[in-house]
Amino acid sequence: MNNGDSTAIFSTEAGFIALNGSVKIQILELLKNGSKSFDEIVNHTGKAKATISVHLKDLRSCSLLEEHVDPDDRRKKIYSLRCQYVACSQEPGLEHYTDMLKIISSTDFERFGSLVCVFHAVQYGFLANGINCDPIMRNIGRDVGKSFAHSLISTEPDDLFAEMEVFWEKNDIGKFSVLSKDPLKLEVHDFFACKSLPIKTKVLCTFVKGVFEGVFIDKFAIDCTMENISVCNNNCEPCILVMKEFKKLL
Q: Where are the alpha helices (DSSP H) in the chain?
A: 22-31, 38-45, 49-61, 93-104, 108-112, 114-128, 134-149, 157-170, 205-220
Query: What's the whole-number mean pLDDT along residues 29-36?
Result: 86
Q: With 70 as the cut, is the pLDDT of residue 114 above it?
A: yes
- Reported as a single tens digit per residue, the pLDDT across 125-136 is 877 766 777 788
Q: Which burial class, exposed, middle or buried, applies to 62 when counting CB atoms under 10 A from its CB (0-12, 13-18, 19+)?
A: middle
Q: What is the pTM of this model?
A: 0.64
Radius of gyration, alpha carbons of the chain: 19
Q: What is the pLDDT of residue 4?
A: 41
Quick one: angle between helices 38-45 and 22-31, nearest 10? 130
How high is the mean pLDDT of the chain? 83
**How far is the C-alpha of 219 from the C-alpha of 26, rounded, in Å?**
36
Query: What's the whole-number mean pLDDT along residues 155-174?
Result: 90
What element of type H or E holds 11?
strand 7-12
CA-angle at 32, arms to 27 and 34, nearest 5°? 100
The secondary structure of residue 193, as a DSSP letter, is G
The residue with greater pLDDT, 158 or 247, is 158
